[in-house]
Structure 1
């Protein structure tokens, strides 16, 4: 009788329920359904991991960008300090040149005064000895 029903497309499963699919196809379908569920769960898990990874990469990118901006700021400050140092150096060189010229003028003036003093001392000596 089961064979006659099977020829008509009616089958019985392991608990004697009426089915319209062959038990082998039904089992395969059931196995496929379970595998699809497992696959879907794995895809969901992969998506969660991927989302976490993307968030982490974005956070790291933000941190890197902040550090990059800090480094650019520090570099700009350093360049500014170097220019200020050069300006100070040039100003000090100008002051040194000015002071050197002043020393030279004072030396010339000293020599002139010493010469004048010697001449006056000679005149005083000549006047006192006469």
Structure 2
């Protein structure tokens, strides 16, 4: 009798409920439904993980950009300091050159004054001995 009903498209499940689908097809359908639900749950979980990853990458990108700006600022300060150092060095070299010239002038003046002193001492000696 079950075969006759099965030929007509009427089936009974394991609890003797009347079904239109074959029990095997009904089981496969339910299995597919569960598989799809698992897939959807996994996709939702994957989407959450992907969103967290994207947020982390965005945050990391912002941090990298901030560090890049800081590095550029530090490099600019360093370059400015180097230029200032060069300027200071040039100024000091100019002062050294000026002082060297002044030293030479003073040495020449000293030699001249020493000659004058010697000449005057000679004259004083001559005048005092006469």
Q: TM-score if structure 1 supplies the norm length?
A: 0.95
**CA deviation digits over 1:80-120, x for unaligned, max 9?**
11111111011001000100100000000000011011111
- SS where residue 93 of structure 2 aligns? helix
How many residue pairs are counted as aligned between the two chains? 130
Deviates more, 1:28-37 or 1:2-11: 2-11
Q: Which residue of 1 aligns with 2:102?
A: 102
Deviation at 1:57, TM superposition (A): 1.3
Q: Which residue of 2 aligns with 1:77?
A: 77
Q: In 2, Cα distance between the equivalents of 1:113 and 1:27?
A: 125
Q: Which residue of 2 aligns with 1:14?
A: 14
Deviates more, 1:22-31 or 1:65-74: 65-74
Q: Which residue of 2 aligns with 1:122?
A: 122
Q: In 2, Cα distance between the equivalents of 1:129 and 1:34?
A: 138
When the two chains are superposed, the root-mean-square deviation of aligned CA atoms in Å is 1.0
- SS where residue 9 of structure 1 aligns? coil
Q: In 2, Cα distance between the equivalents of 1:27 and 1:124?
A: 140
Q: Which residue of 1 aligns with 2:5?
A: 5
1:42 matches 2:42: yes
Q: In 1, Cα distance between the equivalents of 2:58 and 2:26?
A: 47
Deviates more, 1:55-64 or 1:107-116: 55-64
